[in-house]
Amino acid sequence: MTEKLYLTDPLTTHARERFSLPANWECVRYSNEPLLYRIEGAQYGRYVRGPKAGQTNWNKRLSPRQVLFIPWADHNKWKKAWAQKNGRCEECLGRGSTWHKWSKQAGAETKPCRSCDGTGNAR
């Protein structure tokens, strides 16, 4: 299964590239430390059949959890280079929307990206 980079989380994509991780490696927890992103993740299986076919199966961990660190400055440089290489928006990484808030009733809510006006394309 090929994966479009702009449909995944930017820190996940950056971690996969920087540390040569496989495509089924997923981030499960992020935190900001002084001048660093702390990322925890592992390899997870995918659903093979049914309505969730191709999606991540979070109950099927294939490797132990790893803790990785990416400096803020390196991640910002990577985002700029990624946006230039793919012709997509640097802020939303081509999705057209950015995270807005989370609530117990509605879950994660997004809003159109202000940088690209919701198109996902570079300015």
What are 33-48's pLDDT values in tens digits? 889 999 999 999 999 9
Task: Please name the helix (run of DSSP H) or strand (run of DSSP E) that holds residue 44, with its range, or none.
Answer: strand 36-46
Cβ atoms of residues 28 and 42 within 8 Å: yes
pTM for this model (two decimals): 0.74
Using one digit for the tens of pLDDT, what is the confidence trace for 58-92?
Answer: 899 999 999 999 999 999 999 889 888 888 888 88
Q: Which residues contact 101 (CB under 8 A, 6 or more apart)?
A: 109
Lowest mean pLDDT among 6-10, 91-95, 103-107: 6-10
